[in-house]
Structure 1
Amino acid sequence: MDAPSAAKKPETRPKRTRDGSGLRRYLIIRLLLIVPTIFILTTLVFMLMRVTGDPITAALGGRLTADQLQERIHAAGFDRPIIVQYFEYIGQIFTGNFGTTLSDNRPVLEVLTTYGAATLELAFYALVIAFIIGIPFGMLAAYFRDKAPDAFLRVVAILFYATPVFFAGMVLKLIFSVWLKWLPVSGRGTTTTELEMQLLKGKTGIYLIDALRIGDGAILADVLAHALLPGLALGLLTAGIFLRLVRTNVIGTLSMDYVDAARSRGVKEFRLVRVHAYRPALIPIITVIGMQIALLLGGAVLTESTFEWKGLGYQLTQYLQARDFVAVQGIVVLLAVIVAVTNFIVDVVAALIDPRVRY
């Protein structure tokens, strides 16, 4: 008699990982967080700008008679309850109306579009310089870990980060512009370059792109020469952070099992750093770029003032001196929006590169 056959167990299929749904959920959550972030920042800026009173009195007090001042305040609606002004301002922002500057009677949106490109261009130069300096020297410090070159580079990284941007800018100007006379002292270009940029049809406001469109090598060289010192002054700040971050992560990667296996096969240490530890060390760099954008935009205010780089930072200092809080409010809100959107983009890139970020 045959032995009773064993009951067949139902087949268990491995569960499919919902990688796509996890990514979508993560992106939706990050996108939804942008709205309250911008809302909170806008509210804080609005309230802080009202602490000193109404903007009309702050900007024009002492230059107008009491009756003229009161007439301007009433016409602008600044004598209404603060909550009414707040909701009206929020509604105007959603329609793209940031108000009109008090010192030069220009739409704030026009100021933002005119000078915003210059600030973004400066931040781009600084970020490129930070990558060029921070990543290679961070890998070099990891290669010579706990040796003299490593100690020297760590001190340099601390100096880069601790040195105020305006002081670094003045030192660079003194060395390369005054003593060596290699680079221009200030501005975004010579008078000829500025004129060419103003006459160019369909200009972007980003001189590097516009110079490439013109196709004149002399103008392109002039634009890059004027951008080098301000980009370097601002980029060194972030380069110090990148250097230490790359060093730490490369050293951590070099202690992984797969790196030890490669080392046991006779792979040289420099190749381990350059090939096996390089890419994993870049993932943390990508995740902190969003925070560095905020740092770069904050540093751009001092850098632009030092080098007379006419961007939003430079204009912000001018409007602060004029106590034009309507213009200041619009510029700060735009910078907050840029930081929030940039952080979202960086989060998306980080989630695509490293699946662990999504969960």
Structure 2
Amino acid sequence: MTALVELGPEQDPAATPKTGGGGLGRYLLVRFLLIFPTVFFLVTVVFFLMRLTGDPISSALADRLTPQQLQERLHQAGYDRPLLVQYGDFLRDTVTGDLGRTATDNRSITELLGTYGAATIELTAYALLVALLVGIPLGRLAARHRDRIPDALLRFGGILAYAMPVFFVGLILKLIFAVWLGWLPVAGRAGTSTQLFLQNRTSVTGIYLIDALRSGDGGAVLDVLSHAVLPSVALGLLVGGVVLRLVRTNLIGTLSAGYVDAARSRGVGETRLANRHATRPALIPIITVLGLQVAGLLGGAVLTETTFEWRGLGYQLAHYLTVRDFVAVQALVMVFAVVVAVTNFIVDVVAAFIDPRVRY
């Protein structure tokens, strides 16, 4: 007698559509080309919205300059030209790679990105790690205790983590762990002595943890990590709640699939089913969602960096929004848009190789 064994989607050849390299190439080409209209649309919207608030020179210096001096400054900055002319010049400079200088403090945008970009990258990486470390294990726990008290509590916690404003979570964490308990630093990327030590080294990446590890100074490493805990948790919980609910939902669906039932009928234990047969297929949709959550992390970084005085691009963006510096805001928003678009493209590439069905 021939035993009939039901195959899972990763085992059944009929479950995976056959596609040639051309299909994958077209899919990736389309995804790559979508980066350009996405960035163009977002930057265009920001350009015109910023002009609705008035120019930064008038708002900052109107009470300190004569009308003639004010007009001269506006003319020098080009803010007295027709709006469409300003927009055309902005597009031309952007295409040629000239991001200009900030209008309020005359800083090079390129220098600004080089100085503060590493801090935002570091914080985003920490937060993503926290989101995965929190969301995946708790999502698996919720799926295994489906419709019971642990599941209900974890689902409620996931909703709460996503719904609570990141700056409010940051303030609560600061109050508890920095002020009341005194366990962790209240703000900054590192202590003053550590910052000076890392900045005075001949070769620096701008990412404090890497620089501290390369220095071989254990005290500097601990100082950097202690400063990173609170902002990383505050920002990571924002995405961790989403990951938790996604893992739970997908794992429940995978555990009820036919090939898992077949393995269960052969006597495979529930723990092994969850670890070996169900978790990997359940994580495939999460890879795509994580790419979308990069936008949430960058948006949350603005509030997180401001709350914890983490001097990255988000902190600078909040400052330049306050003073309505057109040039700086446009450039920083464009950088954020490019990072999100490129990240989503990379996620699409990874998902296409993991699961060929996403190409259709």
TM-score, with length taken from structure 1: 0.93
- C-alpha contact 1:52 1:58 (8 A) present in aligned 2: no
Q: 1:38 is matched with which residue?
A: 39
- Residues 49-107 of structure 1 show CA distances to partners (whole Å, capped at 9, x for unaligned) of 11123343234332322111111111122222211111111111122222221222111
Distance 1:17 1:186 in 2: 53
2:11 matched residue in structure 1: none
Summarize the alignment of residues 228-307 of structure 1 with structure 2, pairs less than 5 Å apart: 228-307=229-308
Taking the TM superposition and a 5 Å limit, the aligned residue runs for 1:16-31 are: 17-31=18-32
Conserved in 2, the CA contact under 8 Å of 1:55 and 1:326? Answer: no
| Mapped partners of 1:73, 1:179: distance in 2 | 50
Name the amino acid aligned to 2:127. Answer: A
Does the 8 Å CA contact 1:96/1:109 hold for their aligned counterparts? no
Change over 3 Å in CA distance of 1:324–1:63 after alignment to 2:
farther
Partners of 1:213 and 1:244 in 2: CA distance: 38
Letter in 2 for 1:170: L
Q: Indicate the SS of the match to 2:34.
A: helix
Deviation (angstroms), 1:237: 0.8
Q: Which residue of 2 aligns with 1:352?
A: 353
Q: Which runs of 5+ in 2 are unaligned?
A: 1-16
Instruction: State the shift of 1:324 in Å.
Output: 2.1
Query: Counterpart in 2 of 1:48?
Result: 49
Letter in 2 for 1:230: P
Partner SS state of residue 201, structure 1: coil
Residue 187 of structure 2 corresponds to residue 194 of structure 1: no
Is the contact made by 2:134 and 2:244 (CA closer than 8 Å) also made in structure 1?
yes
d(CA) in 2 for partners of 1:51 and 1:152?
45
Give CA-to-partner distance per residue, 1:133-188, whole Å, 9 cap, x none: 00011001111111111111111111111111011111111111112111111000
CA distance in 2, matches of 1:63, 1:325: 20
Once residues 105 and 64 of structure 1 are traced to their aligned partners in structure 2, the CA distance between those partners, rounded to angstroms, is 18
Question: What is the CA–CA distance in structure 1 between the aligned matches of 2:195 and 2:264, rounded to whole Å?
Answer: 56
- Alignment check: 8 A CA contact 1:59 1:102 kept: no
The code of the aligned residue for 1:62 comes to D
Tell whether the 8 Å contact from 2:47 to 2:326 is kept in structure 1 after alignment: no
The more displaced of 167-176 and 123-132 is 167-176
Cα distance per residue 1:175-220 (max 9 Å; x no partner): 1111211111100000111102221223221112111221211111
Taking every aligned residue pair, what percent have the same amino acid on both sides? 65
Name the SS of the counterpart of 2:80 in structure 1: coil
Q: Which residue in 2 is equivalent to 1:73?
A: 74
Q: Is the 8 A contact 2:145 2:151 kept in 1?
A: yes
Q: Is 1:315 equivalent to 2:313 in the alignment?
A: no
Distance 1:122 1:19 in 2: 40
- Letter of the 2:25 partner, please give it: R
Q: Which has the larger radius of gyration?
A: 1
CA contact (8 A) 2:55 2:324 kept: no
| Other-structure match for 1:8 | none
1:223 is aligned to 2:224: yes
Alpha-carbon distance in structure 2 between the residues aligned to 1:49 and 1:99: 17
Shift of the alpha carbon at 1:250? 0.3
* Separation in 2, partners of 1:100, 1:211: 31
Superposed displacement of residue 17, structure 1: 4.2
Q: Shift of residue 326 of structure 1? A: 2.1
Report the Cα distance in structure 1 between the residues aligned to 2:230 and 2:111, rounded to whole angstroms: 28
Structure 2 letter corresponding to 1:281: A
Number of matched pairs: 344
CA shift digits 1:34-58 (9 cap, x unpaired): 1111111111111111112334323
- Verify: 1:134 aligned to 2:147, yes or no: no
CA RMSD of aligned residues (A): 1.4
SS of the aligned residue for 1:277 comes to helix
CA contact (8 A) 2:55 2:79 kept: yes
The equivalent of 2:103 in structure 1 is 102
Contact kept in structure 1, 2:56 and 2:323, CA below 8 Å: no
Contact 1:59 1:323 in 2 (8 A): no
Match of 2:325 in 1: 324
Is structure 2 residue 343 aligned with structure 1 residue 339?
no
Aligned equivalents of 2:61, 2:337: Cα separation in 1? 27
